[in-house]
Structure 1
């Protein structure tokens, strides 16, 4: 008498999908697996993928089977697809792991199938969502205004520059995040503008859309027919398109006067040099003469290709280190 053939244990597929990708946008292997599966199960009746699966003719059972029930249901070579919930299916996966580790159960083939992947930049969606909730629920954040946050933008920008100068990659990543937070925070506040006083509300999407349009327009050598072989060619394109956009009456228009003095002097000198203007440097006797001397030094540094503000910061950091060394020597 022939022994009975062993029952095929089947296949269990845990299908995951990124919540940062629009529901229904699944990979072709995911759709093939869903269409050919004997059972498709999901523990969450409100799962965002369910309407799209049903529209595509994929029947979904809203159920949360135990590991044993799922294994038993696959007997005979059947395939069961479990659509993972947003919180994960820890009880199910832990149960399957225990059964597989026991060595006493002939387990179905277990497969993890990503149905969609995060695209570059999709974590920004998480930041927008987190900022939206903080703005609604945090007593401090909900009261902030553009003017109230302005000082933090300046502080974070300086801390970013310091991280760059220190060469600290971990610090750089953190400070870039802090600067990015300022952008998202201001955009979230701007979203609430009432329009009663002429303030049109705008969102982070409007901010991103504006800079995308600007970048495309100012890079005709990338997105158009213009040619640029050198960095100087690129700068020429940039300045020409920027001049057309802004229609400024003076080369000094658009130069923020609130920036540090050396940086301001260098920026003005660069505008003058680019425009080909012959402007004599002002001078003055008396107590304010030192300011004009610094101006002359900044203009000379800019003409020689140096950033006077960065150079002074580097010198100041060296001075700080010398001070600390002197303090340490005095203590010993």
Structure 2
């Protein structure tokens, strides 16, 4: 005597069920409260009859006392109903055994499918989202990236979760816009994911191809070698500065250029006779930080945070 609850995920193709779920669903009696459950046609193809009934927690608990009955839960899990069934069963003198069998379940990353669906709907039905372009979204992309950085600086990992979601939305939004271009240079979020997966596999031969490395330094060297080969395959000019985005903040730009120059063996003298300007002195400070193994951006941000703390303290005392 038992009530067996079979749950399914809306993010998994409805005909894909676990072996235990199929075995349970071939039981003598299967009930559901969802007339439109997407699994029903697949069960019908297998000759499995499912009765659609009005959910009644007391009656359902009682059914489990007289024999084995299977409840095919709605795709939200019928959480409220199951909670009520549990309360009803506890109140019985001879309560049924209640067993939950996952018919299908989410793999890591499955909720990204929900984001795809939400983005598609926003693009169709929201006037603001419909009018956006790649260009109009640029300020939001930059803003969200800086907000992620701020939460990391503050060590606020609760806020980091939210800000990473906002940044992920930007990736999804731009991918959705690109998808609408169709054959004219269009791509979708799956293409974006495929591209980064292929790149990571290609640039990590020590993980995916059995290449032996002595340590992180050799990993970095291999990475640059592979990147150079990729540029050559595209017919791009191989340069120390290839891939350095000139639009990034100047402090980060100087640090990246100095790192690239150092790895490529660019003579240090090229930076030695710059005009004596504030910019040149800032550039020299970046070089000194690099020589000491420090991130100049992080160092300046740390000092700026301390200055902010002092200002806030001064304001509170005024």
Same fold (TM over 0.5): yes
Q: Does 1:217 align with 2:208?
A: no
Q: What is the rounded CA distance, in whole Å, between the counterparts of 1:30 and 1:306 in structure 2?
A: 56
Match of 1:3 in 2: none
Is 1:13 the counterpart of 2:39? The answer is: no
Give 1:15 deviation, angstroms. 1.1
Aligned to 1:172: 160
**How far does residue 74 in structure 1 lie from its aligned partner after superposition?**
5.3
Residue range with higher mean Cα deviation, 214-223 or 319-328: 319-328
Kindly indicate whether residue 252 of structure 2 is the aligned counterpart of residue 263 of structure 1: yes
1:125 Cα shift? 1.1
List per-residue Cα deviations over 1:25-67 (Å, max 9, x = no partner): 22222222122x1111223232111222233332323333644
User: Cα distance, 1:98 vs. partner?
Assistant: 5.4
2:126 aligned residue (125, 134, 138): 138
Preserved contact between residue 190 and residue 201 of structure 1 (Cα < 8 Å): yes
For 2:31, which of 41, 44, 57 is the aligned residue?
41
Shift of 1:262: 1.1
Q: Does 1:252 align with 2:241?
A: yes
RMSD of Structure 2 on Structure 1 (CA) = 2.2
- Mapping of residues 166-205 of structure 1, within 5 Å: 166-195=154-183, 199-205=184-190
Given that 2:32 and 2:51 are in contact with CA atoms closer than 8 Å, whether structure 1 keeps it comes out as yes
TM-score of the pair, normalised by structure 1: 0.86
Find runs of 4+ consecutive structure 1 residues off by over 6 angstroms.
none
Change (3 A) 1:233 1:106: same
Q: Is the 8 A contact 1:16 1:84 kept in 2?
A: yes
Contact 2:11–2:113 (8 Å) recurs in 1: yes
Supply the distance in 2 between the matched residues of 1:275 and 1:151 (Cα, whole angstroms): 34
SS in structure 2 at match of 1:140: helix
1:145, distance to aligned residue in structure 2 (A) = 0.6
- Is residue 14–residue 82 contact of structure 1 (8 Å, CA) maintained in 2? yes
2-structure distance, mates of 1:120, 1:148:
32
Corresponding residue of 1:162: 150
Secondary structure of 1:258 counterpart: coil
Structure 2 gaps, min length 5: none
Structure 2 partner of 1:7: none
Against the structure 1 CA distance between its residues 54 and 283, is the aligned structure 2 distance closer, same or farther, given a 3 Å change threshold? same
Cα shift at 1:214 = 0.3
Equivalent residue number for residue 242 of structure 1: 227
SS in 1 for 2:290: helix
Which stretch of structure 1 is more off in the superposition, 166-175 or 81-90?
A: 81-90
Whole-angstrom CA distance in 2 between matches of 1:29 and 1:216: 35
**Alpha-carbon separation, structure 1, partners of 2:216 and 2:87:** 61
Asked if 1:80 corresponds to 2:69, the answer is yes
SS of the aligned residue for 1:12 comes to strand
Tell whether the 8 Å contact from 1:255 to 1:267 is kept in structure 2 after alignment.
yes
d(CA) in 2 for partners of 1:222 and 1:65? 52
Matches of 2:97 and 2:225, distance apart in 1: 63
> Which stretch shifts more, 207-216 or 135-144?
135-144
Partner of 1:274: 263
Higher helix share: 2
Q: Which has the larger radius of gyration?
A: 1
- The answer (yes or no) to whether the contact 1:41–1:64 under 8 Å persists in 2 is no
Counterpart of 1:284 (choices 249, 256, 275) is 275
Residue by residue, what CA displacement relative to the aligned partner does 1:234-260 show, whole Å, maximum 9, x if unpaired? 111111111111233321121111111
1:275-326 C-alpha deviation (Å, 9 max, x unpaired): 11215115114xxx11111112112222321111111111111122222233
Check conservation: 2:3, 2:71, Cα contact below 8 A: yes
Relative to structure 1, the CA distance from residue 229 to residue 31 in structure 2 (aligned partners, 3 Å threshold; closer, same or farther) is farther
Counterpart of 1:32 (choices 23, 27, 34) is 23
